[in-house]
Structure formats: C-alpha cells, structure tokens
A and B are shown apart, each in its own frame.
Chain A
C-alpha cells in the first residue's frame, strides 16, 4: 500500500499546482469556472490526503514495518491506542497530518465563502494551495511517510515512551489544527490585499476561523502543559521551551486580532493593524511548525530534522517579504475611516490590550530566537532562561488580566467618567477585599502573585456585574425568570457573553499559575523504605518498593519492559491523605551493544508521575530508582553473558525481584502546589466560552434580531 501513498502525494502535488494556476487564471481573466475548478482542487486535495493518511494509519495499526516511519516510531509492544497516534509522532507523519488538516480546514472555509468575495476567495485558494504544495513537496522530496524497506524488519523501535500519554494523542492534532487554521485568515487577508478589497467582509468571512484557530491552539498549548506537568518528571507545566513559545506567539497575536477585528467591523479603523496582525499570526504559525520540524533550536518537543530548515526559511522569508510588500503597497486603501471618539471607550481598551499582547509576543520572540540572534552576531550561542521571561511577561500578564476586566464594562465609542466610576466601584471593592484578606493571611511576601489575585478578583467583579445587569435588563423587558433570562441573554449575544466567559477563564487560569508558581513547596532527596520527609504541610513516607516486568503488566500501560517504583503514604497532621505510586519505566532499545538483557531496558527511562490532585492543592511525586547498584548491575552483566535474547527476560525478572528484596535508596521529587487544578479548570472555562462565541446564532433568532434592527433603522429613516 505504500505505492498508493506515494501516488497520493504525487497526485496531491499536481492538484495543488493546477489549482494555483486555475485560481490565478480565473481571477485575472474573470472566468469564474476556473476559480470554481480551483476551489474544487482544494476539495480534491482533502480527499487525496485523506486516503494518504488512511494508508499510513492502517500501516501503523497492522504493524507493517516495511514502512520506515512505522518501523522507526512503533512496535508490537506499543499499546494499540498509542500505535494509532504514532502516525504524527514521526517527522513524516506529522507533515502529512499538517497538510491533511490544512486541506480540510481550507475546504470548509472555501465552501462557506463559495458565493462571496470571488476575487478574494480565488487568491486565498491559490495561497492555501501554495501551502499545500509546500508541505506535499516536503513529503515527496525530503521526508516521505511512504518510504519502505525490503525485507521489512521483524520489529519496530517503538513509540518514544515520553509520548505514551493520553493527552499526547490529541495534543498534536489540536495544535496542528490551530496552526493550519491560522493560515485561513492569512490567506484571506492576503487575498483581500491582492484583490484590493480591504473592507470588513474578509474579516467577517474568516472571523470564525480565526476564533477556531485561537481555540484549537489554546487547547493544544494547554494539553501540552498538562503533558509536561503529568509526564515529564520535573513538575512544571511551562518551561519557556522554544517549541512551547513558538505555539504561544501566534496565539497571542491571534488574541490581539480577535479583539481588534471588532474595531474594524464596527468602526472601519485599524485596517493596517488588522492586516499586519493576521499576516503575522499566519507567519508565526508557520514559524512554529518550522521550530518543531527543523531542529534549529534545542527543545524537548522538537523532532530534529535538519533537512527541513532551508525550505522553511525560504517559505517564511517569502511570507514576511510578501506581507510587508502587500501592506505597504496597499497603505492608501487601508486608511482608517474614523478616529477614536474618546480615550475612555472600549476601542481604546482594545487598543491597549493589543499593544500588551503584541508586546508579550515580542518579548517571547526575542527570548526564543535569542540563541540564533546571539550566534549570528557573536558566533557564540547563548540563551535566556525562565527568569528572563518571567521578568518581562509577568508584569505584562498582570496588565492584560486587568484590561480583560476593564474592557467589558466600558462602552463602545464613548463612556463618561461618572459611568466608569459607577461601573468600577464593585469590582474595585472586590479586589481590595481580596488584598485585605491576603495581607491578613500573611501572604504579603509575594507581591506579584497577590497583584494577580487582586486583578483576578477585579475581573470576576466586572464580568459578574455585567451578567447581573444584563439579566436584570432582560428580565425587566421580557418578564422572564433569572435562569431563562441568563440563557436568553447569552444565546442572543454569543460573541459578547462567550467572550466574557473566556475572560473569566483566563483570570482563573492566571490565578492558578500565580498561586502554584509562587507558593509551591518542593523537595528532592533520596529515601529508603520506611523513611519519610516533610513537604509543606504534608509528611510523605516511602512505604515499600514496587516492580513489574513485561509490557503486559506495566502499571502505567505504556509498554515498558521493566517498571520500578514506590508506594508512598501521604499524611497531614497524622491523617492519611493519599497513597501514591510513582514509578519509572525502562524500555527496550535497539542498541545491540548493550547485550541481550541490557538492550531490554536500555532505552530512555521515563518517569511516571503519581499525584493527588485537588481544588486547593496537588501533591505531586516522581521517583528515580537506582538500578546501577553493583548487585543489580551484576544481574544485567551476567545475563548479557549467559542468556540468549529469547531468554533475556528471565534476568529482568531476577532484577525486579532483587530490587524488591534489597531496595536501594531511590531519588524522589516531591512538590506540593496550590491551585494547579484551576489552571486546567480555567482552560476548560476558556474553551466553553470560546465555543459559545464561535457557535452560530440560530437562524430564527438571527432573523428576528435582524427584523428588529431593520425596524429601528427605519425609525431613523423616518426621522431623517
């Protein structure tokens, strides 16, 4: 079936090239049938790549090690669910996933705009197919997922154990959906500039895609953070890693765009800014993919593939140059239609929020690419660490959270100081109350965290007040019960109230980040069975060691050959709180030099974290057993010398038994962090709010609202 996959890629490239030509010819000659044919090329591309990804998926599920990518990233001992997700763990498979998702989202966007913006959509079609051609070419010329070896190896290397985690199955598709969705507004934005149609229509047509990109990217980032926290054994959810940062940057500019597009929709302002933001977001999404794929920067998430660096640099350079040319050459058309009526208006707050978001993006961009910049300037690669990022991003994040409360209570166009005073009274009182409580509780030594708690309380006050007043106004006019009025209010104003819910979710998330990073207790030490230590208010005792052998009995269900761990008893003031069982998995390696026994456990060991999560705090534990003690090492050495590969597992059984009978001291990492769970809850609230905002209003309601609006406008007509 690899042949079919290769045919799919070739056909996909031909379709892309034809579609680009047809789209450009259609728009230049005015022959619509060519534009339609080009749009259908995108649908065809989606179909062809669906077949290609199906072929690869089947190869993974059938353990067809004739496919090089299957042999390199899967094995018979890899659990079935992870085998299904292993498609996108490889360089080649993830390129195919990127191109496939791009074709699906592009098809949807072009289908929804099939009767509108003919010229803009034609250019957008050509640009989207250009991206498609780029990724398909990478798969044909640099990293084909359908390369085969004959004869096929009997067994594969197996999926990287670090990726054998449930969220990693959906994290890449979410992130890639976000990246690929970012290219839709980029393509339409470029199309609008090329077609010289820079009114709000392209924004309206792609607004939902921008929101979907933001939503998917945000969820992908959060799932990655959850993976880092639960799997990586260092206890953190964000490490300012280059690849993490690369996904955050388009999310930040996308957030800015989602706010500033409303100003263009309503006021015809910020056209240059919006065009620049959307082009920057799309380019940053491609750069994010580049960082993962090129291996140009060190990252735990990077799939080093130095061969892809040059094509990506060429694409990014073309995107940047094209964006600058288009914005500069169309600057006359992008002139603003109105000016700000008042500095005290929602437009001004959105502008401030945009500046903070872009400022954040710039800081992260500088810190992320600093190793490359320093190497280019000085010849020496140096990098900046988390403290550098924290120094700049924490104050900016505080301002951002504050603005997310201010924006919703300020009116469009103009607001008076008297109204502002009245609207801010309750939220400010709430923030002050929180400050007093914090100072009273003796939490004053962490000023930045306290500031975040106060800003969060301010946001809750602002948004709570908005909901309360909205429901009250609705009840006054519609004579409805509170709950019915609330639902009707949200249903009729999805963008507004969905956005407010997103703000609440972000405030919750930032409170979780501030609390968990400022008030955590951590300890790293060696313990033997029976010994205990104190972490914060908790006492943790190492009760006994644990061991399992063979992938079948791996307690973490990750297919490890050997798993060594511990049973820990967690108490607080003498009361039992939880029993935790962290472990470390040892996986087979392909290194024959390690010997028949050594190679069974010679792969990269992976820590399996155990924690007791709660709404107030998480007790997080990880273990690093010592299997290099002379007694254990001797078992491996003797086994290597005396046992053939088919009997090598016997030695692993001996090793496990010896570990249980005479457990050496193990290294433990304990962390007690407050409010971590609120980071994930905040993320879910953001997701819920985003879904409300993105969901189309029911047509009946839309019709009623439009009729009412028409009637109101007609009143104006009568008076005019």
Chain B
C-alpha cells in the first residue's frame, strides 16, 4: 500500500515538474523587464496623483503646494507614458 502510494506520488511529481520540459513549444516569453518597470512606475505615479489630491481635499496641502506637487507629478507621469509609448505599449491598467 505504502509502496503504491509512494509510486503514485513520485509519478505525479515527475509529471508536474517536467511538464514544461516535455512540452513541444517553449513557454511564452515574459514581457520585457523595462516595460514591467515602467508599468509599475506608471501605476505608482497615478496613485501618487490621487494621494496628493486626497491630501489637498483633506486639508493637508495648501492650494499653492497642491498645484506645484500636482504639476510635478503629472510631468513625471507624462514622462513615463512617453517612455511606454516608445516601447509601443498599449496603456492599460494591470491587476495588482
């Protein structure tokens, strides 16, 4: 009984682990590292824009400071979007 169970476990393990090596086609290439990095930066920047807005609306930033911060953040966001565009990336949100 134990031998049978052990053999089944071994067979399942080998099947699971070796499946990518046995497959005829190579697994899809993950997206480029630079694109991933830019997407993360883009979403962080969006979040920062929202946070700044919430900070302003909850009285933590004066109007002048908010405008300055918001302007700077949007300029940084535009720079990221430009770089993504150069990579030919469709700009879409990604699941976090």
Contact = CB atoms under 8 A, between A and B. Distances in A.
Given A412-B48, A716-B75, A720-B78, A702 B20 contact: no
A414 B5 CA distance: 64
B31 A496 contact: no
B17 A411 contact: no
Given A32-B27, A33-B26, A415-B65, A47 B12 contact: yes
By secondary structure, the B interface counts as helix
A412 B65 contact: no
Contacts of B40: 199-201, 204
Contacts of A473: 54, 57-58
A717 B78 contact: yes
Which of B19, B23, B96 has the most chain A CB atoms closer than 10 A to its own CB?
B96
A18 B14 CA distance: 11
A662 interface: no
B55 to A, nearest CB: 4
Contacts of B65: 411, 414-416, 419
Contacts of B93: 702-703, 706-707
Given A713-B74, A720-B75, A47 B60 contact: no
A481 B84 CA distance: 40
A423 B58 CA distance: 10
B20 A713 contact: no
Which of A496, A697, A707 has the most chain B CB atoms closer than 10 A to its own CB?
A496
B41 to A, nearest CB: 7
A221 B27 CA distance: 43
Contacts of B26: 32-33
Contacts of A412: 48, 51-52, 55, 69
Interface string A205-227: 00000000000000000000000
Contacts of B19: 37, 40
A69 B96 CA distance: 43
Nearest to B40: A201
A41 B13 CA distance: 8
Contacts of B78: 713, 716-717, 720
B21 A18 contact: no
Nearest to A473: B57
B13 A11 contact: yes
A150 interface: no
Contact of A4 (B2, B44, B74): B2
Given A41-B17, A116-B36, A720-B78, A713 B58 contact: no
Contacts of B61: 411, 414-415, 419
Contacts of B2: 1, 3-4, 7
B86 interface: no
Interface in B49-96: 49-52, 54-62, 65, 69, 71, 74-75, 77-78, 81, 91, 93, 95-96
A715 B61 CA distance: 21
Contacts of A716: 71, 74-75, 77-78
A697 B96 contact: yes
A423 B36 CA distance: 38
Nearest to A195: B33
A352 interface: no
A696 interface: yes
A687 to B, nearest CB: 22
Interface string B1-41: 01001100110110011111101001101110100110011
B20 A33 contact: yes
A266 B30 contact: no
A493 B2 CA distance: 53
A705 interface: yes
Which of A3, A115, A470, A716 has the most chain B CB atoms closer than 10 A to its own CB?
A716
Which of B17, B62, B91 has the most chain A CB atoms closer than 10 A to its own CB?
B17
B31 A37 contact: no
Given A48-B9, A199-B41, A36 B95 contact: no
Contact of B13 (A47, A118, A496, A705): A47
A416 B36 contact: no
Given A32-B27, A204-B96, A11 B51 contact: no
Given A33-B23, A716-B75, A419 B62 contact: yes
Interface string A103-128: 00000000000011111000000000
A409 interface: yes
B6 A4 contact: yes
A51 interface: yes
B60 A410 contact: yes
Given A415-B60, A416-B65, A419-B60, A116 B46 contact: no
A703 B91 CA distance: 12
B65 to A, nearest CB: 6
Contacts of B12: 44, 47
Contacts of A115: 30-31
A200 B16 CA distance: 32
Interface in A500-529: none
Contacts of A705: 46, 50
Interface string A41-81: 10110011001000000000000000000000000000000
B54 to A, nearest CB: 7
B16 A40 contact: yes
Contacts of B57: 469-470, 473
A210 to B, nearest CB: 14
A428 B81 CA distance: 43
A413 to B, nearest CB: 5
Interface in A694-710: 696-697, 699, 702-703, 705-707, 709-710
Contacts of A712: 49, 74
A391 interface: no
A713 B77 contact: yes
A492 B71 CA distance: 23
B10 to A, nearest CB: 6
A137 B33 CA distance: 35
A334 interface: no
A12 to B, nearest CB: 9
14 contacts: A3-B2, A7-B6, A18-B17, A33-B27, A411-B52, A413-B69, A414-B65, A416-B62, A419-B59, A422-B59, A423-B59, A473-B54, A473-B58, A706-B93
Which 5 residue pairs across A and B have the least CB separation, nearest first?
A716-B74, A706-B93, A709-B46, A473-B57, A411-B60
Given A33-B26, A413-B69, A699-B95, 20 more contacts: A4-B6, A33-B20, A37-B20, A44-B16, A116-B30, A118-B33, A265-B47, A411-B55, A411-B56, A413-B52, A419-B61, A469-B59, A702-B95, A703-B93, A707-B93, A709-B46, A709-B47, A713-B77, A717-B81, A720-B75
